[in-house]
Amino acid sequence: MYLELEAIFNREGAAKDFDYSFPLADELIASDVHVSGSVFKKTGIVTLKAEAAYLLSAECAKCGAPIRRTETVPVEHVLIGQAETEEEEDDYDESYIVLDDLRLDLDELVGEDIFLAMPYRFLCKEDCKGLCPQCGADLNAGPCACKPATDPRWDALKDLF
């Protein structure tokens, strides 16, 4: 969705709400992305404040269990209507978005924020115990029958005594 922002930039106190969904192609995203929030101008500053939600579909990096849960990502940026000079543009914080024509491609911005917020791997739970490296049993379900692997260096030491 494109947001036309001229009316917001031109008037103190102006606001525009939005609430919509769009498809974002990615193997980890199993639903449309739902976005709700607003753009508003307050004390001369135009701010975008929104929340994006989608259904995550992934596998636990340790035990391989399927993970399906709703992820929410905050999307917050100060919007700048065209920078006056290039030096000025360098001064802006990374979260600032400089618009060239007071038009914002919201889908693209939300997509970028979602991918930035994605961890490089997912776990089914913080303390997932993973699978036994010997028998492959899911250790979250309890200990397996395998003996802990012995280090051959210790066996060599034992022989000395």
Residues engaged in binding Zn ion (CB under 5 A): 60, 62-63, 65, 124, 128, 132, 134-135, 137, 144, 146
Q: What is the CA radius of gyration of the chain?
A: 25
Q: Nearest approach, Cβ of 67 to Zn ion (angstroms)? A: 8
CB of 142 to Zn ion, least distance (A): 11
Instruction: Report the nearest approach of Zn ion to the CB of residue 143 (Å).
Output: 8
What is the smallest separation between the CB atom of 69 and Zn ion, expressed in angstroms?
Answer: 13
The CB-of-119 to Zn ion minimum distance in angstroms stands at 14
Residue with tokens 């929104």: 50
Torsion of Cα atoms, 153 then 159 then 160 then 161, to 10°: 120
Check if the beta carbon of residue 34 is closer than 8 Å to that of residue 54. Answer: yes
- Backbone phi and psi for residue 34, each to the nearest 5 degrees, phi listed first: -100, 130
- Closer residue to Zn ion (CB): 81 or 130: 130
Which CB atom, from 80 or from 139, has the smaller least distance to Zn ion?
Answer: 139
Strand 96-99 to 66-81 pairing = parallel
Query: Between residues 14 and 123, which has the closer beta carbon with respect to Zn ion?
Result: 123
CB nearer to Zn ion: pick between 118 and 137: 137
Answer yes or no: are the C-beta atoms of 38 and 16 closer than 8 Å.
yes
- In the bound state with Zn ion, the residue whose beta carbon lies nearer, of 52 and 124, is 124
Give start and end residues of each alpha helix (H) in the chain: 6-10, 86-91, 106-117, 152-160
